[in-house]
Amino acid sequence: MSVQIFFQMLVNGLFNGSIYALVAVGLTLIYGVLRITNFAHGEFLMLGIYVAYWAYTMLNIDPYLSIPIAIILVFIVGVLIQRFLVQKILDDHPMNQIVLLVGVSTLLVGLAQIFFGADPKSIHVPYETEVFTLVGLRFSIPRTVAFVASLIIASGLFSFLQFTKTGKAIRAVSQSRAAANLMGIDVKFIYLLTFGIGAAITAVGGVLLAPNTRMIPSIGSGYSVIAFVVVVLGTMGNFIGALVGGLIIGVVETFAGFFLGSDVKIVASMLIFILILLFKPEGLFGRKIG
Amino acid sequence: MIDMAIKSSNGFIDKVMRYILNTWERTQLVICFVLVVLIAMSPLVIRSPYYIGIIILATLYAYIGITWNIVAGFTGQLLIAHIIFIAFGAYTTIVLQNKFGISPWIGLLASGVVAALLGVIVAFITLRYGLKMDYFGLFTIALMTALRSLFLKWDFVGGGIGMWVSLANTSFANMIFQHKEPYLYIALFLVVLGLFIQYRIYNSKMGRYFVAIREDEDAASALGVNTALYKTIAVVISATMAGIGGGFYVMYVTFIDPNQLFNLGLNVEMVMAAPIIGGLGSIAGPLLGALLNKPLAELIRGFLTVGTSGTSLIVYGTFLIVTILFLPRGIAGLLQNQYNKLRIRVYGEEKG
Amino acid sequence: MALLEVHGITKRFGGLVAVNSLDVSVDTGHISALIGPNGAGKTTAFNVIAGFYQPTEGKVIFDGMDITNMRPDQVCKLGLTRTFQVVRPFRGITVLDNVMIGAYNRTNNDKIAREKAYEVLKFMKMEKMANQTASGLPIALRKRLEIARALATEPKVILLDEAMAGLRPTETDEIIEVVRDISKQGIGILLVEHVMKVVMSLAENVLVIHHGVKIAEGTPDEIVRNELVIDAYLGEVVTDAAN
């Protein structure tokens, strides 16, 4: 493999990874604050993709411009799911939580199949094959836009969490529900907000993916699994970890795709996942207890 | 009406009721027995192969549900991607038949063994590395995903193309039948076997240890339960039974491929839905859930002219959500409440 | 040599030393008590003895055998059973089933286990609730169930972790009687307790630990007058009991 190909793949990997990072940030946020593993997470990405599709085919809006629409719509969906479903089982046995979320996931996929059909869809933007070259590497326009957008949105969310009052409240709840309660924080509201944000940011990932991808209703499940890998790798609940982990997995996958073929490149991520679960379950940024 | 039946001067009915209602376990067995008989007699009234097909699948799902019930219901382990055992069982049977000409009847046993080995591996890894709760669930999903990729590339088992049963060689020895009815009776046999095993486990030291582990592992350990051993036993029994079910599955559906089989959607439909809706951890749950689930899903799908598999997903998803929120102990839980009331009337006292 | 002998166990969690060089011994038919202020390390000591934690240093010898690195279920099989401070009934099943799980420690036979369980329930005066689901029991009965389950394992020594916590005075008196009856059967008992009345009326030997270290050992009367102990407890609770 030549140096140029190596760097080209590195760049591609980072760009792909930025989307994984967004999805993982959403998942890790939900886990960090609500302490549940969102088994329906990939479906928020799926919703984002289909919002982009609908906006493009029905309203003739460029997919990237439909990001705000996706954010608003999926935020609302997330809040509704949290308010009426998830909130009820927050203190239940994990089996119940998993089953409920699997049920939500199944339902969402079914609804997508009804509204958009099970056959693959795609959207073709006029600039989708355009590239620009820099230092001898080729950068595809859609992917570059996706990468930049991911960075902007991730930084935006990070700033929100670090510097705003609400953001700090969210971080407080993720550290201790009881303490946050005592400090007068409306924990239920924070739960709603966090779930909504987590869903919305994942949907953004979906929108960014749209110009490149073959859209089917079950597309979410593959990204769900990758999101789990990233979140565990980057330590559950850790924002930066999710970003770093996403980029790592993106790169790993791209190289695995080169050596193993694209239909089985997922094996590499699964291998990493299994190794992490076995040998370093606290993730890259975690501390071992006891 | 039941009151009148009980109070009637006919002491026989009272004796029968007392027998049936003695314990909730026994009542469930009786319910299951009645359902099994009804299923067995269904070909007499139902002629359409389409409807028989639904009953066959419902019956198979009941059996698979029983296998999952043992590990997820009794011991409470979050073994989500149970489908891997079914998949291994399916591939074992079809490979043995297609490549080695071995009868599926033997193949089913081999499927059980292969799935059992996989179960041992899964249990060992989980216990050795202390994978608890969500992490265990995620591990099984990761394993399923990895296995799917492996099977997609493995030419010996057909790779991405899959494998199919040649429908030409109908014979009993080949487990290939021209009509659907024989498949129904095989599935029914599996259900009866499964119910028997389930009940025997439930009422034994092993079964009680399983439940103790589910309720509180540390407390169980403090009382002398070797939790690692019993968790492994549960996984292995469950896997073995599921493997056998997988062997039958492939002979019935006649075609499998990795994408269709190592699939979370199939896992939800075939493994999880019935026991949860019926009542996870109960004896009658899987059968009750499967008989309600599958036919209802098909019925609803029949009513709607648009959207095919989309509707069944919506049905399953909604069922799962509704069950968790409103009926956490499933249909069996509802029936148990009725049972308790009935028992007071017949026996004049409470019973757990 | 006593039935249960704990030699110099130390348990460190990172930088925190929860238990420091503790020696305890319990013999058949005797009742010893482990007392100390909150966070003194009492429950940690129990966890080490019963096999839930491995000690950083030290040994636990039971019936002549080194059980230091054994699992809790192995320890139970040998005859050492513990209860939990916050009771942990198997909530979804009946009282009888709860106790049967303990009884299975000594038998594989369902009938024998059931009979043994009934016997224990009768001893604990709980046979009327045999078929009630454990989750429906009030706290006092759940504490009794905790003890009943442990008894069903046929222990030689039983570790009772704050068996009286949260009980009313009459309920406490009842449990004190139960513990005395257990002792009369020849079973060795090690109590962790906060309620001084219990310690005074039951224990033959009392160990006081503070910050994981044993600061005093002796009969209840000696302990109550011990200055170090009084300091550790801020005086009030101990003087109350002494009067």
Q: What percentage of chain B exceeds 90 in pLDDT? A: 71
Asked if B222 has any chain C CB less than 8 Å from its own CB, the reply is yes
What is the domain count for chain C?
A: 1
Cβ neighbourhood burial of B300 (10 Å; 0-12, 13-18, 19+): middle
Sketch the domain layout of chain A as residue ranges: 3-279
Tokens of A246: 């996403």
**Residue span of the structural domain in which B28 resides:** 2-347
| Residue C230 domain flag | yes
* Chain A residue with the nearest C-alpha to that of B73: A95
B307 contacts on A by Cβ (under 8 Å): 113-114
Task: Mark yes or no for CB contact C131/B218 under 8 Å.
Answer: no
pLDDT for B5 equals: 57
Q: What percentage of chain C exceeds 90 in pLDDT? A: 57
* Chain B residue with the nearest C-alpha to that of A97: B324
B1 vs C88 pLDDT, higher one: C88
Q: Which of A130-139, B16-25, C106-115, C208-217 has the lowest mean pLDDT?
A: A130-139
Q: What percentage of chain A exceeds 70 in pLDDT? A: 99
Instruction: Name the residue among A103, A263, A277 with its Cβ closest to that of B135.
Output: A277
Asked if C90 has any chain B CB less than 8 Å from its own CB, the reply is yes
| Residue B146 domain flag | yes
B221 contacts on C by Cβ (under 8 Å): 52, 71-73, 76
pLDDT for B352 equals: 43
Separation of alpha carbons B36 and B41, rounded Å: 9
Identify the chains in contact with B, defined as 3+ C-beta pairs within 8 A.
A, C
Q: What is the three-class DSSP state of A130?
A: coil
CATH no. for residue C182? 3.40.50.300
How many CA atoms within 13 Å lie on the side-chain side of A284?
A: 18
Cβ atoms within 10 Å, residue A25 = 33
Helix A94-116 × helix A41-59 angle, to 10°? 20
pLDDT for B304 equals: 67
pLDDT for A141 equals: 84
Determine the average pLDDT of the residues in C103-113.
95
Determine the average pLDDT of the residues in A273-282.
88
Q: What is the three-class DSSP state of A71?
A: helix
Task: Mark yes or no for CB contact B137/A281 under 8 Å.
Answer: no
Asked if A50 has any chain B CB less than 8 Å from its own CB, the reply is no
HEC assignment per residue over chain C? CCCEEEEEEEEEECCEEEEEEEEEEECCCCEEEEECCCCCCHHHHHHHHHCCCCCCEEEEEECCEECCCCCHHHHHHHCEEECCCCCCCCCCCEHHHHHHHHHCCCCCCHHHHHHHHHHHHHHCCCHHHCCCEHHHCCHHHHHHHHHHHHHHCCCCEEEEECCCCCCCHHHHHHHHHHHHHHHHCCCEEEEECCCHHHHHHHCCEEEEEECCEEEEEECHHHHHHCHHHHHHHCCHHHHHHHC
Cβ atoms within 10 Å, residue B326 = 8
CB C97 within 8 A of CB B210: no
B212 contacts on C by Cβ (under 8 Å): 90, 101
B277 contacts on A by Cβ (under 8 Å): none
pLDDT digit string (tens) for B223-232?
999 999 999 9
Separation of alpha carbons A115 and A109, rounded Å: 10
pLDDT digit string (tens) for B92-143?
999 999 999 999 999 999 999 999 999 999 999 999 888 888 889 999 999 9
B76 contacts on A by Cβ (under 8 Å): 93, 95
The CATH code belonging to domain A3-279 is 1.10.3470
CATH no. for residue B42? 1.10.3470
Q: What percentage of chain C exceeds 70 in pLDDT? A: 96
pTM of structure: 0.91
Task: Mark yes or no for CB contact A98/B320 under 8 Å.
Answer: no
Asked if B103 has any chain C CB less than 8 Å from its own CB, the reply is no
Give residue A146's identity as a one-letter amino acid code.
A
| Residue B352 domain flag | no
- Tell whether the torsion through CA atoms of B176, B180, B185 and B187 is positive or negative: positive
pLDDT for C40 equals: 75
Please determine, for residue B153, whether its predicted confidence score (pLDDT) is greater than 70.
yes
* Interface ipTM > 0.95: no
Query: Among candidates A266, A187, A264, which has minimal Cα distance to A228?
Result: A266
Task: Mark yes or no for CB contact B211/C149 under 8 Å.
Answer: no
**Residue span of the structural domain in which C231 resides:** 4-90+157-242
Please determine, for residue C135, whether its predicted confidence score (pLDDT) is greater than 60.
yes
pLDDT digit string (tens) for B156-171?
999 989 999 988 888 8
Determine the average pLDDT of the residues in A34-54.
94
pLDDT digit string (tens) for A160-185?
999 999 999 999 998 888 888 888 88
CB A232 within 8 A of CB A283: yes
Beta bridge partners of C189: C31, C158
Task: Mark yes or no for CB contact B307/A232 under 8 Å.
Answer: no
Please determine, for residue C236, whether its predicted confidence score (pLDDT) is greater than 50.
no
Distance from the Cα of A19 to chain B's closest Cα (Å) equals 20
Distance from the Cα of A5 to chain B's closest Cα (Å) equals 25
Reported confidence tier of residue C196, pLDDT bands at 50, 70, 90: confident
CB C136 within 8 A of CB C145: no
| Residue B181 domain flag | yes
What is the domain count for chain B?
A: 1
Task: Mark yes or no for CB contact B313/A106 under 8 Å.
Answer: yes
| Residue B25 domain flag | yes
Give kind and range of the element (H or E) at residue B166.
Answer: none
| Residue B134 domain flag | yes
| Residue C148 domain flag | no
